[in-house]
Amino acid sequence: MQDRRAPEPHDVVELIGVKRHAGELSTAEIGWVVDAFTRGVVAPEQMSALLMAIVIQGMERREIRDLTAAMIASGERLSFSGLGRPAIDKHSTGGVGDKITLPLVPLLASLGVAVPQLSGRGLGHTGGTLDKLESIPGWRAALSTEEMTSVLRDTGGVICAAGPGLAPADRAMYALRDVTGTVAAVPLIASSIMSKKIAEGADGLVLDVKFGSGAFLPALDDARELATTMVQLGADSGLRTVALLTDMDAPLGRAVGNANEVRESTEVLQGGGPQDVVELTLALAREMLDLAGKPEVDPAPALRDGRAWDAWRRIIRAQGGDPDAPLPVARETEIVRAAADGVVQRVDARAVGVGAWRLGAGRARPGDPVDHAAGVEVLVRPGDPVRAGDPLFELRCDDAGRMSRGLESLGTAVELGPETPQPRPLVAGRITG
């Protein structure tokens, strides 16, 4: 029987060749290839070849903008215009102990700003916000668009998984990137993040772009390039976007691991918690308040006077969770101790993250289960003096068989020296459109 389908306007093999030889793809070509891949006309192996060519040859700003627009066009767009308050979102590129979303969302909600936070799950050494919150009995990450909007209207904040209708082309392309070694490319990272954030329909976006050993892009220059590209994409789409470049060479706070990080976040929400977690929470809150038209509001008092804590409890309950329920506690613990006297020069965030992952706090593949009680308590910070035998880390897990692998990672995670190191600023730069 004769195939009566209309001919496709482009040939994907030709487009692969153009990009392989450092050529530019037109707006129409990019729009077609994303749509054709979504329809199944472009095969996964062909899209993989094109993605690899992009990793090697890069993309111009116009191409990145077109790729982002094509991924947005593959699905639905949300709107929060009927909330009666500005909707400002935040995105972090991820790190070790990066629990900032947990105190930040209720803090902003308590100050009259709506925060529609679409979050993800952990993979490898970086933790996922949804995994952390699922430590809370009853809490649900999967909400319909109607449920998400209802929670946001009632409480001022929502933290949930992105629905399947939001930039589905990006979801399909990311699955390919994850198994073909094509994740770490600025054009692809930027378009993946911003396609979902633009489609989400918020009024403003604050980006927390991390650098250092525990970051996805360790080099500061690479992080700056990614931040600049995403801010430009926001500006091109009319989404007001600001980025902070933040240090992820050492873990954020003391707690690493799902339930561990929830506990520490509740400390922050009740006026305590580690100084660096509080500092970054307030820095991002000030940027979000500025985008919301409230630059004069100081967010710090709301962490001390109970407003943010009350908002947290409302948000958790609205998503089915019990804020008073006990969090999981690990059955097995082990202490890593200093082998010599000295001053802590560095705590390697990646080594700590890998250790927590090996203990069961993270996953090697999407869909793997996580141990919500597993993780690491970081007991020292750069600049702390220690004596031989002093505790450096406490390892926690439910499976005793995992403990030796965690100890392997953390045995050399602390670097000691004779002198106190120079302190590093937590926020290294700010990029605006």
Contact 8, 33 (CB under 8 A): no
* 2 pLDDT tier (thresholds 50, 70, 90): very low
Nearest-angstrom CA–CA distance, 117 and 101: 8
Residues with catalytic roles: 91, 170, 177, 192, 196
More confident residue, 10 or 123: 10
Residue 190 has pLDDT above 70, yes or no: yes
Q: What is the mean pLDDT of residues 178-183?
A: 84
Residue 105 has pLDDT above 90, yes or no: yes
393-417 pLDDT, tens digit each: 999 999 999 999 999 999 899 999 9
Residue 281 has pLDDT above 90, yes or no: yes
Nearest-angstrom CA–CA distance, 298 and 35: 45
Q: Minimal CA–CA distance to 271: which of 319, 225, 308?
A: 308
* 126 pLDDT tier (thresholds 50, 70, 90): confident
325-361 pLDDT, tens digit each: 999 999 999 999 999 999 999 999 999 999 999 999 9
pLDDT reported for residue 5: 67
The whole-chain average pLDDT of the chain stands at 94
Q: What is the mean pLDDT of residues 203-207?
A: 97
Residue percentage of the chain with pLDDT more than 70: 98
Q: What is the mean pLDDT of residues 3-27?
A: 90
Instruction: Look up residue 217 and give its DSSP letter.
Output: S
Q: Give the gyration radius of the chain's Cα atoms.
A: 22
297-314 pLDDT, tens digit each: 999 999 999 999 999 999
Give the residues across from 417 on adjacent strands: 343
